[in-house]
Amino acid sequence: MTFCTLFDSNYLSRGLTLYRSLETVCKNFHLYIFAFDDRCYRILRQLNLAHATIISLKEFEDTELLTVKPSRSRAEYCWTSTSSTILYVLEHFPVTMCTYLDADMMFFSSPEPLFEEMGNASVTITEHRYTPRYDKSRESGKYCVQFVSIRSNEQGLRILRWWRDRCLEWCYARIEEGKFGDQKYLDDWTTRFESVHVLQHLGGGVAAWNVQQYEVFDHKGKVFGKKYGTDNQFPVVFYHFHYVRFLENDLVELGRRMLTTEVIRLLYIPYLKSLDNSQKEIAFLDPSFDAHGSSKNLWTWKTPILYLYRKILGIYHIYPRKRFYE
C-alpha cells in the first residue's frame, strides 16, 4: 500500500500520528511525506521513519507550482499541491497506485478492505456523507479530498493531470462559479470520467460532520460503528479529526459539532494521546518546538455569547487536556 500526504511544522504531531497509526494497522505500507517547511523536513529526517520517504519542497516544487505560489495563502497552496503530490510519487517512484491522505486523520483498522472494494477502478474518491444538519456539500463539495486513490494507468493519469491543471488555474478558500479549493472539482468525476469508484465502506471517512449518524462502540478492542436504524455494522477504518485545536492554558478544542461521550472516548481520546506521544518524540529532537501548532484563545466580547449558544446546542467542545488522562 502506497500513500502520500503533505503538511508543515504546524501539523507535525498530526502527520506523525497518521504515520504511527498506519504502522499499527498495516502489514506492508509506504508513506511519502511532503514536508512543507524546513523544520518539518529536518525533524522528519531525524526520526528515521522506516516506512516513509521524506520529500522537501525544493525537490517537489516545479515551475508551475512556483508560478502560482505567491497568489495563494498557505492553506490554498497546500490544496493546490495535493494532486501534484500524487503525480510526483507516480512519476518518481516504482509504484502502480498512490493514495493521498489528509494529515489530520488516524487509522483504527487496516485500509485493505477499501482497496479490495476499489477493484480494477482507476480512481477512488470518498463522500463527505454529511449529517443533514451539517450538510455543506453545496459549498464544500460532495466529496472530501481526504482519501483519494489513483492508479498509474492511462485513465488514472488523465484524471490526475486534469485535476492538477484545474488546481493550478484556480484554487482558493472561497466559493466562486461552482468552485471551492481543490475539492469541488471532484463533484462531477463520476460523469466526466470513466473508471471512478465512490467508496461505499462507511468505515472509510468517519468524521465530525457525519459521526452523528452512527452508534460507535468497542468490539474486541476495535472501534466499530453502526448506522442508526439499520443493522449496517462496520469497523472504523479511519477518522478525520478536522478542527481539533490546541489552545493556550492547556485547553483542547474538538470542533463544533455534536459528539457523544462514546465518540469522544473511543475516537478522540486515543487520538489526543497519540498526538501527545508524537509531540514527545518530536520534543526529544527539538525541545523548543510546539509540534501541535497551538493557537491562542481569541477572547472577545462575543465569547460568552458563543459559549452559551454552543452549550445549548451541545457543540461546545473545549476541555482541559488533563480531563482525557484521568
Nearest to 13 by CA among 321, 281, 297: 281
Q: What is the pLDDT averaged over residues 318-324?
A: 85
- Residue 95 pLDDT class (50, 70, 90 cuts): very high
The pLDDT of residue 247: 86
Classify the phi-psi angles of 105: left when phi > 0, otherwise alpha if psi is within -120 to 50, otherwise beta: beta
**pLDDT higher than threshold 90 for residue 307:** no
Quote the pLDDT of residue 325: 73
Distance in angstroms (rounded) separating the CA atoms of residues 74 and 315? 28
Residues in the chain: 326
pLDDT score for 298 = 60
Strand-pair category, 214-219 with 123-127: unpaired
Task: Write the pLDDT tens digit of every residue in 18-37.
Answer: 999 999 999 899 999 999 99
Residue 312 has what pLDDT? Answer: 80
11: its cell numbers: 501539523
Mean pLDDT, residues 252-281 taken together: 94
**Is pLDDT at 220 greater than 90 in this prediction?**
no
Residue 286's identity, in one-letter code, is: D
For range 96-102, the mean pLDDT: 98
The count of domains in the chain is 1
Q: At 117, list the grid cell.
A: 472494494
Res 230 pLDDT > 90: yes
User: How high does pLDDT run on average in the chain?
Assistant: 94
User: How many beta carbons lie within 10 A of that of residue 231, not counting itself?
Assistant: 6
Where are the strands (E) in the chain, listed by range?
A: 2-7, 30-35, 52-56, 97-101, 105-107, 123-127, 143-151, 196-198, 204-207, 214-219, 222-227, 233-235, 238-240, 245-247, 251-253, 318-320
List, for residues 210-219, the tens digit of each pLDDT value: 999 999 999 9
Rounded to the nearest 5 degrees, what angle is found at the Cα of 257, between the Cα atoms of 254 and 259? Answer: 70
pLDDT at 322 over 90: no
- What average pLDDT score do residues 200-228 get? 96
Give per-residue pLDDT as tens, 252-262: 999 989 999 99
3-state helix, strand, coil in the chain (%, to 5): 45, 25, 35
* Residue 143 and residue 187 in contact, taking contact as beta carbons nearer than 8 Å: yes
The pLDDT tens digits of the residues spanning 73-84 come to 999 999 999 999
Under DSSP, is residue 195 helix (H, G, I), strand (E, B) or coil?
coil
Angle subtended at Cα 221 by Cα 98 and Cα 282, rounded to the nearest 5 degrees: 55
The pLDDT of residue 300? 64
Return the CATH number at 290: 3.90.550.10
Range of the domain at 30: 2-325
